[in-house]
């Protein structure tokens, strides 16, 4: 390939034993130890010239024996790091080292990494082990390691597609809304250029299990075989729920997301599959679809620029919504056009996360959410909401009741746990559903949280670990904890569309001392929305029969804990952007909210703003 030949001309032959491609990354295999340990001075000018990423590894014939390398690694890395696992991928010359404390395994100025490279000739990659025991993180990592031969071939194939030369055609950029326009759910946007087709998100509408809740892909404009890549903004079902289906019907390309999003992606999709089976729904995908997606996942760190097609560069930025949630920035052509996809997002510092990123050099088109985009959508300040949470929960404890919190397994639950611990909450907090597993993933990626949380974890004060936080994993335990008063139960699902929360609700709803506390958005047509809207009697299945349940327990909603920006924050986000967009598309909200927010953007900022409909295809250039 031309790019490889160009690099060979720029780097002296004695440094290159073999050269190849892994996705958008050029990999140089060398037998020169000095170049391997300290390659930066030689490759820096090359990177600046070709504008591509280069990684240097030792050629496999010069790697030390794996058993000897293990002993060397355990000698080099201080005991404080607590090495948990060491895994080799010889065909890529990489050794993965899982440790409890990466700070000790990396060393100041990466001195320990350099020492491992020098003594073993392997390229070390340090991974943090979770603080909470859960199978999700180790299972995903083991699965990816077991598929290393496939992934090496796959990444090479992806790279060839990125770097191949296509016939030059007239530049054009078009965007299509295949879901999530004037509605919440099934977010799915198609970005097309004369060389590329990329899908951003592909979710399912909450509460739907048929085509009414799926992205609208059966259209003339959409051909799965022409799709170059899928980009995932974050791991919520309304953004990822339809992805495995695409792999089961033939999509064979890459899927890009942040590092923690991959493990949350695996967790939520597996759980959603289980929910579909339990609710006698015909599953739209199988475990195979999830595995095929994970095998082809390419993870990126925030602010890491990567080519994903011939003419599109992708950068992910912190969206502040959930762990690993990303604002998607697409740089199209050689400075031709920039799209910023800013949903879901939170433009406010929360207990765990930083505010959504606002610093961009250029934005031609901004795509933004409007979940809370109406004039009346004004949330209390974050500190006030946290104070109200603690006061509300304590008041129920004083009357010997139970607080039942339907929660999204990712972010809201962890937020609540951290707030309770930081306020020295002393009562039992029972954690059900996949919340425990999701929390385990949080403990493996503190670098994706704010500096305060990072410091706490580094100092051994993990906000997700407490003797009062108790995992519930069996039916027997679920049946017994409703008698353990006072207490808090945090359970999935967040909109009460399924999961253990339904069983708890049946047993707790007729006791006035108990409280059902909503802390997140309740979509239309969900049980959560019905109860939130004041329903006094609910029909649910019990022992194979439909039974009426009276809602006697207190019902309360805390809006200030939401992971979404309210109207004030959505306006502030645009106002604080370092580059003024030329056009705004408002999506991910009920129809009246998208229209209202789009009108306001146009009036306040003088920016062309639209509330597109599903199946709108608009030429941007």
Question: What is the domain-level CATH number for residue 9?
Answer: 3.30.300.20
DSSP helix/strand/coil, 331: strand
Within 10 A of 59 (CB to CB), how many other CB atoms are there?
17
Tokens of 6: 């160009």
**What is the domain count for the chain?**
3
Tell me, yes or no, whether 200 and 214 share the same domain. yes
Higher pLDDT, 522 or 384: 384
Given this model, what pLDDT does residue 280 score?
61
Report the CATH number at residue 575: 3.60.15.10
The reply to whether 467 and 335 lie within a common domain is no
CA pair distance 191, 47, nearest whole angstrom: 28
Instruction: Decide if 143 contacts 58 (C-beta within 8 A).
Output: no
pLDDT of 255 over the 70 cut: yes
| Same domain flag for 147 and 179 | no
Q: Residue 301 and residue 43: Cα distance in Å, rounded?
A: 21
Judgement on whether residues 17 and 3 belong to the same structural domain of the protein:
yes
Tell which of 165, 193, 224 closes a domain. Answer: 165
Q: For residue 473, how many other CB atoms are within 10 A of its CB?
A: 11
pLDDT of 275 > 90? The answer is no
pLDDT given for residue 398 in this prediction: 97
| Domain assignment of residue 482, given as a range | 389-561
Query: How remote is the C-alpha of 432 from its chain's centroid?
Result: 21
219 and 279 both lie in a single domain? yes
Mean pLDDT (whole number) for 474-490: 90
DSSP string over 381-415 = PHHHHHHHHHHHHHHHHHTT-EEEEE--TTTHHHH
Give, in order, the Cα–Cα distances in Å from 231 to each of 13, 284, 339, 487, 616. 37, 20, 13, 40, 20
| Same domain assignment for residues 496 and 549 | yes
Q: How far is CA 590 from CA 181, 182, 328, 447, 531, in A?
A: 8, 5, 22, 34, 19
Judge if 586 and 539 occupy the same domain.
no
* Bridge partners for 341 per DSSP: 328, 367
Is 496 within a domain? Answer: yes
Give a yes or no: residue 313 inside a domain. yes
- How many angstroms separate the CA atoms of 201 and 196, rounded? 16
Query: 542 falls in which pLDDT band (50, 70, 90)?
Result: confident
Beta carbons of 549 and 538 less than 8 angstroms apart: yes
pLDDT for 166 equals 66
Domain assignment present for 383: no
Alpha-carbon distances, residue 261 vs 116, 142, 203, 365, 528 (angstroms): 29, 17, 14, 25, 26
The terminus-to-terminus CA distance of the chain in angstroms comes to 30
Measured distance CA(212)–CA(393) in Å, rounded: 38
Instruction: Measure Cα distances from 168 to 195, 226, 368, 438 in Å.
Output: 8, 17, 32, 46
pTM above 0.75, yes or no: yes
Q: What pLDDT shows up at residue 408?
A: 79
Question: 104-134: per-residue pLDDT in tens?
Answer: 999 999 999 999 999 999 999 999 999 998 9
pLDDT at 199: 98
Residue 80 CB contacts under 8 Å (≥ 6 apart), including other chains: 101, 104
Could you tell me the CA-to-CA distances from 276 to 109, 208, 271, 312 in Å, in that order?
49, 10, 9, 36
Q: What share of the chain is helix, strand, coil (3-state, %, to 5)?
A: 40, 20, 40
- 406: domain CATH number is 3.40.50.10890
- Domain boundary, last residue among 136, 165, 194: 165
In a domain, 395, yes or no: yes
Dump the DSSP string for 512-532: TT-EEEE-S---TTSHHHHHH
Place of tokens 């604002």: 327
pLDDT band at 220 (very low <50, low <70, confident <90, very high): confident
| pLDDT greater at residue 209 or residue 583 | 583
250 in the same domain as 213? yes
380: in domain:
no
What integer pLDDT is reported at residue 390 of this predicted model?
96
Q: Are residues 536 and 611 in the same domain?
A: no
Residues 336 and 415 in one domain: no
Q: Residue 384: inside a domain, yes or no?
A: no
Q: Give the number of other CB atoms < 10 A from CB of residue 6.
A: 15
Identify the band that residue 78 occupies on the pLDDT scale cut at 50, 70 and 90. very high
SS3 state of residue 317:
strand
Give a three-class secondary structure readout of 269-312.
HHHHHHHHHHCCCCCCCCHHHHHHHHHCEEEECCCCCEECCCCE
pLDDT tens figures, 483-513 = 999 999 999 888 898 778 999 999 999 999 9
**One domain for residues 191 and 161:** no
Instruction: Give the whole-angstrom CA distance, residue 140 versus residue 264.
Output: 10
Nearest residue to 486 (alpha-carbon basis) of 389, 400, 392 = 400
Model confidence at 168, pLDDT cuts 50, 70, 90, reads low
Q: pLDDT tier at 308 (50, 70, 90 boundaries)?
A: very high
Residues 317 and 432 grouped into a single domain: no
Nearest to 306 by CA among 154, 150, 163: 163
The stretch 221-225 carries a mean pLDDT of 86
Distance between alpha carbon 115 and the CA centroid of its chain, in Å? 33
In a domain, 382, yes or no: no
- Domain boundary residue among 130, 149, 165? 165
Domain membership flag for residue 235 = yes
Reported as a single tens digit per residue, the pLDDT across 411-452 is 889 999 999 999 999 999 999 878 999 999 999 999 999 999
């Amino acid at each position: 390939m031309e790019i490889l030949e160009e690099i060979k001309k720029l780097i002296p032959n004695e440094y290159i034993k073999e050269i190849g491609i892994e996705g958008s990354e050029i990999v140089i295999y060398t037998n020169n130890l000095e170049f391997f340990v300290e390659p930066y001075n030689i490759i820096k000018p090359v990177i600046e010239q070709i504008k591509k990423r280069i990684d240097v590894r030792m050629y496999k014939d010069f790697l030390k024996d794996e058993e000897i390398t293990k002993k060397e690694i355990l000698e080099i890395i201080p005991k404080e790091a607590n090495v948990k696992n060491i895994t080799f991928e010889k065909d890529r010359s990489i050794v993965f080292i899982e440790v409890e404390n990466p700070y000790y395994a990396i060393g100041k100025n990466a001195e320990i990494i350099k020492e491992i490279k020098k003594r073993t000739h392997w390229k070390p990659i340090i991974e943090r082990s979770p603080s909470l025991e859960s199978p999700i993180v180790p299972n995903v990592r083991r699965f990816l390691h077991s598929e290393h031969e496939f992934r090496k071939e796959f990444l090479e194939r992806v790279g060839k597609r990125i770097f191949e030369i296509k016939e030059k055609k007239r530049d054009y950029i078009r965007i299509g809304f295949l879901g999530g326009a004037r509605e919440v759910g099934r977010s799915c946007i198609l970005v097309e250029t004369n060389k590329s087709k990329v899908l951003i998100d592909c979710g399912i509408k909450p509460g739907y299990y048929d085509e009414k809740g799926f992205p609208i892909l059966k259209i003339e404009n959409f051909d799965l075989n022409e799709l170059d890549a899928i980009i995932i903004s974050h791991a919520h079902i309304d953004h990822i729920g339809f992805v495995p289906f695409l792999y089961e019907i033939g999509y064979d390309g890459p899927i890009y997301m942040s590092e923690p999003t991959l493990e949350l992606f695996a967790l939520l999709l597996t759980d959603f599959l289980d929910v579909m089976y339990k609710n006698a729904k015909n599953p739209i995908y199988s475990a195979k679809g999830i595995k095929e997606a994970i095998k082809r996942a390419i993870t990126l760190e925030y602010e890491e620029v990567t080519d994903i097609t011939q003419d599109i560069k992708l950068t992910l930025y912190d969206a502040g919504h959930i762990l690993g949630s990303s604002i998607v920035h697409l740089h199209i052509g050689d400075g031709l056009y920039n799209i910023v996809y800013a949903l879901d997002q939170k433009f406010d510092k929360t207990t765990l996360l930083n505010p959504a990123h606002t610093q961009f050099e250029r934005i031609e088109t901004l795509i933004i959410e409007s979940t809370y985009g109406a004039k009346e959508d004004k949330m209390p300040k974050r500190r006030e909401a946290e104070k109200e949470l603690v006061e509300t929960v304590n008041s129920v404890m004083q009357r010997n009741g139970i607080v039942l919190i339907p929660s999204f397994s990712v972010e809201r639950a962890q937020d609540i746990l951290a707030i309770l611990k930081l306020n020295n909450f002393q009562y039992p907090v029972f954690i059900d559903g996949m919340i425990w597993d999701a929390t385990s993933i949080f403990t493996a990626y503190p670098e994706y949280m704010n500096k305060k949380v990072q410091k706490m974890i580094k100092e051994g004060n993990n906000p997700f670990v407490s003797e009062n936080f108790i995992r519930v994993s069996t039916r027997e335990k679920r049946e017994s904890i409703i008698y353990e008063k006072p207490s808090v139960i945090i359970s999935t699902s967040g909109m009460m569309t399924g999961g253990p929360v339904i069983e708890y609700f049946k047993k707790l709803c007729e006791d006035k001392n108990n409280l059902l506390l909503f802390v997140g958005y309740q979509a239309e047509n969900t049980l959560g929305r019905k109860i939130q809207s004041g329903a006094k009697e609910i029909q649910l299945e019990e022992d194979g029969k439909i039974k009426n349940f009276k809602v006697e327990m207190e019902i309360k909603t805390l809006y200030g804990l939401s992971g979404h920006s309210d109207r004030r924050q959505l306006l502030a986000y645009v106002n604080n952007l370092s580059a003024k967009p030329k056009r705004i598309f408002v999506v991910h909200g009920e129809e009246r909210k998208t229209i209202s927010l789009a009108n306001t953007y146009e009036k306040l900022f003088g920016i062309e703003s639209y509330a597109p409909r599903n199946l709108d295809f608009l030429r941007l250039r």
